[in-house]
Structure 1
Amino acid sequence: MQIPAPPVTAGATTPPPSIPQTSPSPLASTRATRRQLLASGLLLAAGSSISTAAGARAAAGGGGGLVGYDGPVVTEADRAASAAVSRRVGEAVELLELGRELQARGEFPEALASFTRVVAEYADLALSEYARVGRALVLYEIGDRDQSIAEMEDVSIALKGYPEIHAALAAALYADKHAALLAENQFAIATLLDPHYTDLAYVRDTKHWPPSLVDSLHDFITLS
């Protein structure tokens, strides 16, 4: 049984018939997919071309440098300068170690000569300050105590916090300058950083202090 259509009111217009929605045809979907693949391929090709061009520029300008890196390149002159510095450091270390060996053997004039070479020829290197420590200790032994103490005071400022120079200066100030308070201040710094300096055997057998400086430290510790 059919249901009759509702009557049309006079003056009203009949709505147009609805158009059924249809899904896109397989052919249209295929074309869209091909367009997307083609666009992706073009983007990848463009990116590859840019990377290749950047790599070529880097290779032409820097010889294997990083892509996009425009920083300084190490030249032969830079390498030569670095090698020269390394060679000078090695020479200074050898002289410093030789001075310490000579000091340990009691060959004080020879040790002084070795330490003095480091101070004179390698003053631009930081390790020359440690050669000044050895020089000051040896000067104390061979009799130039005023010069020794002056150098100890200077080095104690340059190497503030280096316990050996503070302990040596304390011994010298007490024994030769009779400056007990200054000596106490220097020794307090030394032993706070390294308590070994209260042990005479340590400074004699391990640090290889000259005998006269060991005696001065003994006098200071015993207040004699």
Structure 2
Amino acid sequence: MAAACRASMSRLLLPSPSPPSSALLPSPNKTPVPNLSSTRRRLFLFSLPIPTLLLFTANGESSRTSSCLAAEAFDPVSSAERDASALMSRRIAEAVELLDKGRELQAQGDFGSALLYFSKVVENYKDFAFSEYARVGRALALYEVGDRDEAIAEMEDVSIALKGYPEIHAALAAALYVDKHAPLLAENQFTIATLLDPHYTDISYVKEMKHWPPSLVSSLQQFITLS
């Protein structure tokens, strides 16, 4: 569309090329017959003032050019849509920042503060799918600060929402074994976790890489050793 518009504007500014001289010569085998209609039209055009002639010639082209410019100026995205997109981008950035801060505090061992940040994501940004990962951090922090029943309820819920996410299955296995005295359920959860990621059989992995709270690390140790 833009190329066609530029071509139309160029035709307005540039004179039409003259036909080759050979095209003006009559055919050697035919006697040229004058076209009276064409002759009268040329005489009429030559009698017009130059400004009127230019306007007459450019009238069709200018209308097409105006249409082209209008098409190029059309914006398919409304201002309301742009505002909504900007708001969504800000909310995503805020949620990710809170989640990262919660994980940073978790890695530092400050599980009380980490719980506050994870909870903000869960409460204020639940419409985002990645808020489920904040629920994982929240469950681990709850387990450490002493609210183990709520922590286990959160783990069970998230294990369904994030089925196949090995960390939540391993954490739930440890909690079910120690706090709910449910070894068979714990074994099922741990089987899922280790099939997906065998690292969860290594206590140092959950402690140093996943930054689990000490109480949950201890529960996993008891489950692995069946003590």
State whether TM-score is above 0.5: yes
- Taking only the aligned residue pairs, the percentage that are identical comes to 68
1:214 maps to amino acid: V
Helix, strand or coil: the match of 1:126?
coil
Q: Give the letter aligned to residue 29 of structure 2.
A: L
Paired residue type of 1:222: T
Shift of 1:166: 0.6
Seen in structure 2, the aligned counterparts of structure 1 residues 190 and 59 have a Cα distance that, compared at 3 Å, is farther
| Greater than 3 Å deviation, 4+ residue runs | 55-59
User: How many residue pairs align between the two structures?
Assistant: 173
Corresponding residue for residue 27 of structure 1: 29
**C-alpha distance after superposition, 1:190-224 (max 9, x if no partner):** 11111111110000000000000000101111111
- Distance in 2 separating the partners of 1:144 and 1:176: 11
The letter of the residue matching 2:73 is: G
Equivalences for residues 167-178 of structure 1 within 5 A: 167-178=170-181
Q: Offset at 1:143?
A: 0.6
| Matches of 2:101 and 2:186, distance apart in 1 | 30
CA contact (8 A) 1:167 1:197 kept: yes
Q: Which residue, out of 70, 85, 107, partners 1:60?
A: 70
- Offset of 1:103 from its aligned partner? 1.1
Q: Distance in 2 between matches of 1:154 and 1:89?
A: 23
- Correspondence for 2:110: 107
Which 5+ residue runs of structure 2 have no aligned equivalent?
Answer: 1-26, 33-59
1:80 match:
83
TM-score, normalising length from structure 1?
A: 0.71
The C-alpha deviation readout for 1:52-106, integer Å capped at 9, x for no partner, is 84x75454256267xxxxxxx1122211111111111111111111111111111
Distance in 2 between residues matched to 1:64 and 1:78, nearest whole Å: 15
Q: Secondary structure at the match of 2:29?
A: helix
Q: Which amino acid aligns with 1:60?
A: A
The structure with the greater share of residues assigned to helix is 2
C-alpha RMSD of the superposition: 2.2
Structure 2 residue identity aligned to 1:196 = H
1: CA distance between counterparts of 2:200 and 2:66? Answer: 64
Distance 1:216 1:58 in 2: 71
CA distance in 2, matches of 1:89, 1:115: 14
What is residue 43 of structure 1 aligned with on the other side?
none
SS of the residue aligned with 2:153? Answer: helix
Report the alpha carbon displacement of residue 121 of structure 1 after superposing the two structures with TM: 0.9
TM-score, with length taken from structure 2: 0.70
